Amino acid sequence: IDGVLEDVTQIILNIKKLALKLHVEEDKTIEIDVKGPATVTAADIISDDDVEVLNTDQYICTVAEGGNFHVRMTVKKGRGYVAADQNKSDDMPIGVLPIDSIYTPISRVNYQVESTRVGRRNDFDKLTLDVWTNGSISPREAISLAAKIMTEHLAIFVDL
Protein backbone atom coordinates (compact mmCIF):
# COMPACT_ATOMS: atom_id res chain seq x y z
CA ILE A 1 0.00 0.00 0.00
CA ASP A 2 1.54 3.29 -1.09
CA GLY A 3 2.47 5.53 1.82
CA VAL A 4 2.09 2.78 4.43
CA LEU A 5 5.16 1.29 6.13
CA GLU A 6 3.76 -2.22 6.66
CA ASP A 7 2.72 -4.66 3.97
CA VAL A 8 -0.82 -6.04 3.75
CA THR A 9 0.10 -9.26 5.58
CA GLN A 10 1.48 -7.39 8.60
CA ILE A 11 -1.55 -5.07 8.69
CA ILE A 12 -3.89 -8.08 8.67
CA LEU A 13 -1.93 -9.72 11.50
CA ASN A 14 -2.26 -6.50 13.52
CA ILE A 15 -5.99 -6.23 12.76
CA LYS A 16 -6.50 -9.83 13.92
CA LYS A 17 -5.25 -8.73 17.36
CA LEU A 18 -8.18 -6.32 17.76
CA ALA A 19 -10.46 -7.04 20.72
CA LEU A 20 -13.97 -5.94 19.81
CA LYS A 21 -17.30 -6.34 21.56
CA LEU A 22 -20.44 -6.32 19.42
CA HIS A 23 -23.49 -5.26 21.44
CA VAL A 24 -26.07 -6.32 18.81
CA GLU A 25 -26.76 -9.52 16.89
CA GLU A 26 -26.49 -8.12 13.34
CA ASP A 27 -23.22 -7.53 11.50
CA LYS A 28 -21.68 -4.06 11.74
CA THR A 29 -19.22 -2.17 9.54
CA ILE A 30 -16.32 -0.25 11.05
CA GLU A 31 -13.77 1.93 9.28
CA ILE A 32 -10.37 3.50 9.63
CA ASP A 33 -9.52 6.55 7.51
CA VAL A 34 -6.20 8.22 8.37
CA LYS A 35 -4.01 10.65 6.44
CA GLY A 36 -0.27 10.66 7.12
CA PRO A 37 1.96 11.17 8.76
CA ALA A 38 0.35 9.12 11.51
CA THR A 39 0.57 6.02 13.64
CA VAL A 40 -2.69 4.12 13.21
CA THR A 41 -4.09 2.32 16.26
CA ALA A 42 -7.43 0.79 17.16
CA ALA A 43 -8.37 4.17 18.66
CA ASP A 44 -8.69 5.41 15.05
CA ILE A 45 -11.57 3.01 14.36
CA ILE A 46 -14.77 4.79 13.37
CA SER A 47 -17.89 2.94 14.56
CA ASP A 48 -21.22 3.49 16.22
CA ASP A 49 -22.05 2.61 19.83
CA ASP A 50 -22.89 -0.99 18.87
CA VAL A 51 -19.18 -1.84 18.48
CA GLU A 52 -16.81 -1.36 21.41
CA VAL A 53 -13.05 -1.37 20.82
CA LEU A 54 -11.46 -2.88 23.94
CA ASN A 55 -7.77 -2.51 23.11
CA THR A 56 -7.59 1.00 21.67
CA ASP A 57 -3.79 1.00 21.90
CA GLN A 58 -3.46 -1.92 19.44
CA TYR A 59 -1.02 -0.84 16.73
CA ILE A 60 -2.22 -1.32 13.14
CA CYS A 61 0.23 0.51 10.85
CA THR A 62 2.26 3.67 10.18
CA VAL A 63 1.21 6.08 7.43
CA ALA A 64 3.95 8.26 5.89
CA GLU A 65 3.70 11.93 4.94
CA GLY A 66 1.24 12.27 2.06
CA GLY A 67 -0.02 8.72 2.53
CA ASN A 68 -3.59 7.66 3.17
CA PHE A 69 -4.85 4.51 4.89
CA HIS A 70 -8.49 3.55 4.47
CA VAL A 71 -9.97 0.21 5.46
CA ARG A 72 -13.54 -0.98 6.01
CA MET A 73 -14.16 -4.08 8.13
CA THR A 74 -17.21 -6.17 8.98
CA VAL A 75 -17.71 -7.21 12.60
CA LYS A 76 -19.75 -10.35 13.28
CA LYS A 77 -20.64 -12.40 16.34
CA GLY A 78 -19.34 -15.93 16.44
CA ARG A 79 -17.70 -18.69 18.43
CA GLY A 80 -14.34 -20.39 18.08
CA TYR A 81 -12.38 -20.05 14.87
CA VAL A 82 -13.64 -19.37 11.34
CA ALA A 83 -11.21 -19.79 8.44
CA ALA A 84 -10.84 -17.04 5.83
CA ASP A 85 -12.38 -19.17 3.08
CA GLN A 86 -15.54 -19.55 5.19
CA ASN A 87 -15.73 -15.76 5.52
CA LYS A 88 -15.65 -15.39 1.73
CA SER A 89 -18.84 -15.07 -0.30
CA ASP A 90 -19.36 -15.18 -4.06
CA ASP A 91 -20.75 -11.64 -4.18
CA MET A 92 -17.68 -10.01 -2.59
CA PRO A 93 -16.25 -7.27 -4.80
CA ILE A 94 -12.64 -7.30 -5.97
CA GLY A 95 -10.36 -5.82 -3.33
CA VAL A 96 -12.14 -7.38 -0.35
CA LEU A 97 -9.80 -9.63 1.61
CA PRO A 98 -11.55 -12.16 3.84
CA ILE A 99 -9.49 -13.02 6.91
CA ASP A 100 -9.92 -15.71 9.50
CA SER A 101 -11.94 -14.81 12.57
CA ILE A 102 -10.83 -15.69 16.07
CA TYR A 103 -13.76 -15.42 18.48
CA THR A 104 -11.86 -16.71 21.51
CA PRO A 105 -11.93 -14.11 24.29
CA ILE A 106 -9.84 -16.27 26.64
CA SER A 107 -6.16 -15.39 26.61
CA ARG A 108 -4.88 -17.64 29.40
CA VAL A 109 -6.10 -20.17 31.98
CA ASN A 110 -4.35 -21.74 34.96
CA TYR A 111 -5.86 -24.41 37.15
CA GLN A 112 -4.95 -26.11 40.38
CA VAL A 113 -6.52 -29.19 42.00
CA GLU A 114 -5.84 -29.76 45.67
CA SER A 115 -7.23 -31.90 48.46
CA THR A 116 -9.60 -30.12 50.77
CA ARG A 117 -11.63 -30.77 53.86
CA VAL A 118 -15.39 -30.28 54.21
CA GLY A 119 -16.53 -30.73 57.78
CA ARG A 120 -14.98 -33.96 59.05
CA ARG A 121 -14.43 -35.38 55.58
CA ASN A 122 -11.11 -34.83 53.90
CA ASP A 123 -11.64 -36.77 50.68
CA PHE A 124 -12.77 -33.84 48.54
CA ASP A 125 -10.92 -32.00 45.81
CA LYS A 126 -10.90 -28.25 45.29
CA LEU A 127 -10.53 -26.78 41.80
CA THR A 128 -9.07 -23.27 41.49
CA LEU A 129 -9.28 -21.57 38.09
CA ASP A 130 -7.43 -18.41 37.11
CA VAL A 131 -8.91 -17.03 33.87
CA TRP A 132 -7.67 -14.07 31.80
CA THR A 133 -9.78 -12.62 28.98
CA ASN A 134 -9.46 -9.86 26.38
CA GLY A 135 -12.18 -7.85 28.14
CA SER A 136 -15.04 -8.75 25.80
CA ILE A 137 -16.30 -11.17 28.46
CA SER A 138 -15.57 -11.43 32.17
CA PRO A 139 -13.81 -14.53 33.56
CA ARG A 140 -17.00 -15.38 35.48
CA GLU A 141 -19.09 -15.17 32.28
CA ALA A 142 -16.51 -17.27 30.42
CA ILE A 143 -16.64 -20.08 32.98
CA SER A 144 -20.44 -19.96 33.05
CA LEU A 145 -20.68 -20.14 29.25
CA ALA A 146 -18.11 -22.96 29.12
CA ALA A 147 -20.13 -24.94 31.68
CA LYS A 148 -23.33 -24.46 29.64
CA ILE A 149 -21.61 -25.58 26.43
CA MET A 150 -20.09 -28.58 28.18
CA THR A 151 -23.49 -29.54 29.63
CA GLU A 152 -25.04 -29.41 26.15
CA HIS A 153 -22.27 -31.59 24.70
CA LEU A 154 -22.44 -34.17 27.49
CA ALA A 155 -26.27 -34.36 27.59
CA ILE A 156 -26.17 -37.05 24.89
CA PHE A 157 -24.55 -39.45 27.37
CA VAL A 158 -27.19 -39.04 30.10
CA ASP A 159 -29.60 -41.65 28.73
CA LEU A 160 -27.04 -44.33 27.75
The band of 159, judged by pLDDT with boundaries at 50, 70 and 90, is confident
- Buried/exposed 122-155: b ≥16 CB within 10 Å, e otherwise: eeeeeeeeebebbebbeeeebeeeeeeeeeeeee
Helix (H, G, I), strand (E, B) or coil at 88: coil
Task: Read off the pLDDT of residues 52-72 as tens digits, 9 standing for 90 and up.
Answer: 999 999 999 999 999 999 999
Give this prediction's pTM: 0.81
Separation of CA 133 from chain center: 10
Nearest Cα residue to 60 out of 71, 50, 51, 47: 71
Domains and CATH numbers, the chain: 8-102 (2.170.120.12), 106-157 (3.30.1360.10)
pLDDT digits (tens, 9 = 90+) for 80-121: 899 988 988 888 888 889 999 988 899 999 999 999 988 888
Letter for the amino acid at 128? T
- Looking at residue 59, its pLDDT comes to 98
